[in-house]
Structure 1
Amino acid sequence: MFKVAVELGAISHMLAAVHDIDDDTMIKLRAMCTDEVKRINGIINFEKAVRYQRSE
């Protein structure tokens, strides 16, 4: 779990460095991700996330 947390931290910082996301969008994103993780029991599917982001 420690190594996964380190990698997630690195990815989070890289994304934050290259994207300018306002506070309201970040709050909505956090809520959406919380609901999604509850619904899918924590099993993240990258391909589904890409399709979702491309659909908007």
Structure 2
Amino acid sequence: MARDKIKFGLRISPETQKLVRDLYPRDNCQSQNEFIEKAIQFYAGYVSGQEAVDYLPPALVSAIRGTLQGSEDRIARLLFKLTVETSMMMNVLAFAADINTEQLDALRARCIKDVKKTNGTISFKDAVEFQKENPQ
């Protein structure tokens, strides 16, 4: 890989020079110059707002991905269980209820409207009150 050779008058404090000397082997760099170039590229990416994942340590990215995947799996299992219980409840109610298709369609439309309006915060008390106000 050809590199442009531009002379920079870099002045680095003795403390920073020692830091570079101590750390460049730990980053598997072949030279202090390579370490400094990587550090500049890392910081330039950070400042320019590029993809944050590129600048997080791989172990941290892996841990975050694992945590998110675990949460996603748990939510999927809980949603499955909830759906099974809801299906059971609907079947028991359908067996006991005397409701025709038109009433069911009207109820579905009202429930959709209510869920959208309340962002899903429907209570059983609200449903009971509605049914008392609107007997079938």
User: Shared fold by TM > 0.5?
Assistant: yes
Partner of 1:22: 100
Gaps of 5+ in 1: none
Q: Deviations over 1:9-49 (max 9, x none)?
A: 00100000001211110110110011010001011211111
Matches within 5 A, 1:9-48: 9-48=87-126
Q: Tell me the matched-pair count.
A: 56
TM-score for both structures, normalised by structure 1: 0.90
TM-score for both structures, normalised by structure 2: 0.40
Residue identity opposite 1:23 in structure 2: T
Identity among equivalent positions (%) equals 38
| Structure whose residues are more often helix by fraction | 1
Residue identity opposite 1:53 in structure 2: Q
Which of 1 and 2 has higher RCO (CA within 8 Å, sep 6+)?
1
Residue identity opposite 1:45 in structure 2: S
Gaps of 5+ in 2: 1-78
SS at match of 2:122: coil
